């Protein structure tokens, strides 16, 4: 091999390396562009997911607040219901007491009216018998 053959071989080798480097560099550039496109797409997706997450967290906060308010209302309603039950028991007791007192009062009045009626009947009967006896 002569000096020219070696130079041609080195030139061919250098040209092969240059072609391989250019091809690898273009493939890497295309891959890099694809990766950048994917990253941009994922950035948009991440941003959208962050917005959705914030909206869902806001919904959770609103729901928790409503649950707390409903629990307070329920506790107040249960307290009111218990108070009404207690009041109802007291009213029932008062009604039963009033019924007993009215029954006793009615029986007493009825007894007094019967006694007065009987006394009047006896007085009237005595008067009639006395009149009949004096007329006879």
Confidence (pLDDT) at 119: 83
- Residue-wise pLDDT tens digits, 108-126: 888 888 888 888 888 888 8
Residue 28 pLDDT more than 70? no
Residue recorded with tokens 């007491």: 97
Give 123's contacts (C-beta < 8 A, 6+ positions apart).
Answer: none
pTM here is 0.46
In Å, how far from its chain's centre is CA 44? Answer: 36
First-to-final CA distance of the chain: 190
Reduced 3-state DSSP string for 90-124: HHHHHHHHHHHHHHHHHHHHHHHHHHHHHHHHHHH
- Residue-wise pLDDT tens digits, 51-105: 999 999 999 999 999 999 999 999 999 999 999 999 999 999 999 999 999 999 8
Confidence (pLDDT) at 76: 96
């Amino acid at each position: 091999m002569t000096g020219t053959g070696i130079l041609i071989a080195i030139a061919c080798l250098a040209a092969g390396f240059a072609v391989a480097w250019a091809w690898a560099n273009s493939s890497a550039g295309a891959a890099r562009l694809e990766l950048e496109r994917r990253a941009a797409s994922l950035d948009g997706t991440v941003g959208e997911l962050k917005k959705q997450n914030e909206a869902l967290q806001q919904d959770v906060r609103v729901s928790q607040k409503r649950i707390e308010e409903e629990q307070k209302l329920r506790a107040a309603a249960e307290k009111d219901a218990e108070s009404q039950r207690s009041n109802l028991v007291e009213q029932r007791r008062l009604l039963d007491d009033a019924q007993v007192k009215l029954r006793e009062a009615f029986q007493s009045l009825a007894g007094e009216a019967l006694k007065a009626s009987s006394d009047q009947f006896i007085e009237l009967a005595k008067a009639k018998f006395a009149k009949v006896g004096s007329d006879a």
